[in-house]
Structure 1
Amino acid sequence: MRSVLALFQFCTSLPLGRPVEFEHFARRSYLYPLAGYLIGGIAAIVTFWIASPPVGAAVAIAAVLLLSGCNHFDGLLDFGDGLMAHGRREKRIAAMTDRTTGAGAVAAGILVTLLAFSGLQAVANIPLTILTAEVCAKTAMSWLTTLGRPFREGMHSYLHSFAKPWFLVPAFLLTLPLFLLPLPRLALVLALAATAAITAFMLVLSRRVFGGVNGDIVGASNEIVRAGVILLLALA
């Protein structure tokens, strides 16, 4: 339970009492999807009573961002700056890790948010979609934590140092309760497949552009996978 509490304190802005030692979660980063159930579940409850699709979509996106303290969204902005920077790898890393916000950050934030917002308006059930997308997003974070070779010291390198290859399996198993939801089974299978595909893409892109993975890239994957799964469920 201390591992779960440490996870929730790390991934959410909820007031959860005295801080638990972070190492409890670091040793069990395969628990990431549980944070998806918590954040996505609260967002689903908040939007359940909203009949207007545009309003429901906006509230759902706002809920997951606020509940996560915008930490992963900040990673998306930094990733956008690094990706759009010109020059050698060192210059891209510097652009991603500095404190300024450039055009790449703004573009990444707007594009990913617009895609998620437009997709949510088109789905049949916003609450179930935001829950599914959030669990998939946290699963991607777990997989990247396990597979992503760090290119610098930081939060990601600390979590990665405890991760084991077998962490991929329990992280995936924690997504299986999604199949209890009243959603088409094929759509859920495709959502998990998209999660794996986007994770693999982020790994390859990050190694090529930055030489590895850091916390910003893991956070960016959360936002990108959420938007990607929402769009997929809208099309399905």
Structure 2
Amino acid sequence: MEDDYFKDEKFSPFKSILGLVTFSTILPINVFTSIEYMTKMTWFWPIIHFFIGALAAGVAFICQDFLHFNPLLVAVITYAFLMLITGFNHIDGVMDMADGVMVHGDAKKKISVMKDSMVGAGGIMAAILIALITIAGICNVLDYRFINGIIICEMVAKTSLLTTALTSKPIDGIGSYFIRSTNIVNYAVSTIIVAVLCFLLGNIVGIFGLIGAMFAGAVVSLIAKKNFGVANGDVLGTSNEIGRAVALLFMIIMLFY
């Protein structure tokens, strides 16, 4: 059922993209559209985060080459920037999903815990570990002077999310709109565009970053199926954060070899 507030609205891809930017960042775009129309452009999300990643890479460049901070401090600031500009949009999903996975019981109980507003030790530790791995990964790609890795990991984090959306069964909630709007055709188009950008930014290293993100998205989807049977916004958010971290790990391995 469409939002009544937008019942007279006509679909505009450009407006829906700006709505997606408004939804997923703190950038002062302030363009609003119905959830149905906005999620029609879910496949375009990685391209939006190509530009978010470019902003983060700019922050890293200034900190590293002009302020001469050490790589660890640059990585922390860069990660903090990514979290801030996206309004910490997905990190709560990591905590919620981790709590649901860790609790003993059937799928119904696990979903109930995942949806609970309280955060347990499992959720807190999951968020900390993913943050630490991501920061260490950014630090490592900076050691290789591969600043484009920051752009790539942020862009393919959304490909990880799309991979989970494509392979998951939705449950009621905002996340269901993103899952239902993702199909094999728009997923393929999105992934091909991202693959081209990854290759231009990092050659085979960039492609491996994309492969890592897709692998992460598939794994998160399997974990969600095993524990919940379905996926929601928390699962998608978790896929985004894990996808970013795993993409960095895959690129670091290729940079070494």
State if a TM-score over 0.5 links the two structures.
Answer: yes
1:135-155 per-position Cα deviation (integer Å, ceiling 9, x unaligned): 1101112232233111x2001
Match of 1:6 among 15, 19, 34: 19
Check whether the contact 1:115–1:227 (CA below 8 A) recurs between aligned residues: yes
Pairing 1:141–2:154 present = no
223-232 or 10-19: which moved more?
A: 10-19
Q: Does the residue aligned with 1:92 lie in a helix, a strand or coil?
A: helix
Aligned to 1:109: 127
Residues 183-222 of structure 1: matches in 2 within 5 Å? 183=202, 185-222=203-240
Q: TM-score, normalised by structure 1?
A: 0.93
CA distance in 2, matches of 1:193, 1:161: 23
In structure 2, the partner of 1:38 is 51
TM-score w.r.t. the length of structure 2 is 0.85
What is the rounded CA distance, in whole Å, between the counterparts of 1:137 and 1:125 in structure 2? 21
Cα deviation per residue 1:88-120 (whole Å; 9 max; x = unaligned)?
222211111100011011110111011111122
Task: Give 1:77-116 correspondences, 5 Å limit.
Answer: 77-116=95-134
* 1-structure distance, mates of 2:216, 2:91: 17
Aligned to 2:9: none
Which letter maps to 2:197? Answer: P
- If asked which structure has higher relative contact order (CA below 8 Å, sep 6+), I would say 1
Provide the residue aligned with 2:183 in structure 1. 164
Of 224, 228, 235, the residue aligned with 2:246 is 228
Alpha-carbon contact 2:211-2:247 (below 8 Å) kept = no
For the residues of structure 2 that align with 1:157 and 1:39, how far apart are their CA atoms? 24
Aligned AA (1:137): A
Secondary structure of the residue aligned to 2:80 is: helix
C-alpha displacement at 1:126, in angstroms? 5.7
Asked if 2 retains the 8 angstrom alpha-carbon contact of 1:112 and 1:224, the reply is: yes
Aligned CA RMSD, in angstroms, stands at 1.5
Structure number with bigger Rg: 2
Correspondence list, 1:28-67, <5 A: 28-51=41-64, 52-67=70-85
Which residue identity does 1:140 align to in structure 2? S
AA aligned to 1:128 is N
Report the CA distance between 1:229 and its aligned residue: 1.1
Residues 117-140 of structure 1, C-alpha deviations (whole Å, 9 max, x = no match)? 112212223631211101110111
Report if the CA contact (8 A) 1:142-1:171 is conserved. Answer: no
Equivalent AA in structure 1 for residue 179 of structure 2: H
| Secondary structure, counterpart of 1:71 in structure 2 | coil
> 1:29 touches 1:159 (CA, 8 Å); kept in 2?
yes
Spell out, residue by residue over 1:204-229, the C-alpha distance to the aligned partner (whole angstroms, 9 max, x if none). Answer: 11111111111100000100010111
Corresponding pairs, count: 233
2:173 aligned residue (149, 154, 167): 154
